Amino acid sequence: MNNPHKNARTTYHNRVLIIDRVLNEGRSVHSVAADFGISARTVYKWLARFEEHGYAGLHSASSRPHSSPYQLPDSWIECIR
């Protein structure tokens, strides 16, 4: 998924730059965060995703929950229709 949501502060390209500046240029996390107008926590998040998944981890992910435990059963939904 390459289309970031409308409130995303970074894109895939920005995330690659963030990783490059911290890991290859040796810049501090706080300095890079200030450059991009994001928090240091966000930079650490992208660093962790990069270390776990490589460049594939820098793509936008769905924010949809993995499960919906309180979702109505299918039989109830059929009754409503």
Q: When comparing pLDDT for 36 and 64, which is higher?
A: 36
Per-residue burial over 31-41, b = 16 or more CB atoms within 10 Å of its CB, e = otherwise: ebbeebebeee
Q: State the pLDDT at residue 70.
A: 85
- Domains of the chain are 12-61 (1.10.10)
Please give the mean pLDDT across all residues of the chain: 88
> Averaged over 43-71, what is the pLDDT?
89
Structure tokens at 9: 């502060």
On whether the CB atoms of residues 36 and 26 are closer than 8 A, the answer is no
Q: What is the pLDDT of residues 36-55, one digit of tens each?
A: 999 999 999 999 999 999 99
**Per-residue pLDDT band at 10 (split at 50, 70, 90):** confident
pTM: 0.70
